[in-house]
Amino acid sequence: PPPPSSTSSPPAAVDGVPLRPAVFCTVADLRPQSLGHNLKLKVVKSDLMLEHKRPDGTTIRVAEVVVGDSTGTVILTARNEQIDVCKPGNYVVVRNAKVDMFRNFMRLSVNKWGNIKLDPTPQEFAVDTANDVSAVEYELVRVETEEAVGAPEPTHGGRGGRGGRGGRGGRGAHSH
């Protein structure tokens, strides 16, 4: 069965105010530059891309992890302790993930405001490896509004490039 699109776990409470239950989406729902995604995923493959020891003795690790659900796969950029959870075959819950663009391709990442944890109640599912959303190249298209078409480029003060009275060494009328 496919992973549920939402969960009905009892919401926790903060200062007496109940929290809303998390809404889970699927890999197929991911869009460029979007954020706040909660997903239940299976780890397909993990490749350590960088392991760098810093002068203070700490180590930085970055891995590209192929994760997916029944709707497709995506590359997750995992860092440091996130890598330890992302072992092939593990079912993970990704909270508050965002979609970054890397060379015009989508990558899923989780910063300090989100987390990646082992799924406490994994529901086994087959990962759709045929639909790799990280393999789709996106192109930035500038959309011009009607007002912008044919309008002259804005000028910034006109004198010296920084506006005002000639500004930093500009050759405006008031420079001596």
Determine the pLDDT at residue 7. 46
pLDDT digits over 97-119, tens only?
999 888 888 999 998 889 999 99
Q: What percent of the chain has pLDDT over 90?
A: 31
Q: Is the pLDDT of residue 2 over 90?
A: no
Q: Is the pLDDT of residue 152 over 80?
A: no
Q: Is the pLDDT of residue 13 over 80?
A: no
Separation of alpha carbons 161 and 9, rounded Å: 59
Q: Is the pLDDT of residue 170 over 60?
A: no
Q: Is the pLDDT of residue 29 over 70?
A: yes
Which pLDDT band, with edges at 50, 70 and 90, does 8 fall under? very low
Q: Is the pLDDT of residue 94 over 60?
A: yes
Q: Kindly report the three-state secondary structure assignment for every residue of 14-75.
A: ECCEECCCCECCCHHHCCCCCEEEEEEEEEEEEEEEEEEECCCCCEEEEEEEEEEECCEEEE
Query: What DSSP line would sit under 89-120, residue for residue?
Result: T-EEEEEEEEEEEETTEEEEE--TTSEEEE-S
Which pLDDT band, with edges at 50, 70 and 90, does 141 fall under? confident
Is 116 in contact with 67 (CB distance < 8 Å)? no
8: amino acid identity, one letter: S
Beta strand 59-69 with 72-79: parallel, antiparallel or unpaired?
A: antiparallel
Q: Is the pLDDT of residue 176 over 70?
A: no
Is 41 in contact with 108 (CB distance < 8 Å)? no
pLDDT digits over 38-66, tens only?
999 999 999 899 888 999 988 899 999 99
Angle in degrees, CA 149, 153, 159, rounded to 5: 165
Give the global pTM.
Answer: 0.67
Is 125 in contact with 1 (CB distance < 8 Å)? yes
Mean pLDDT, rounded, for 83-93? 92
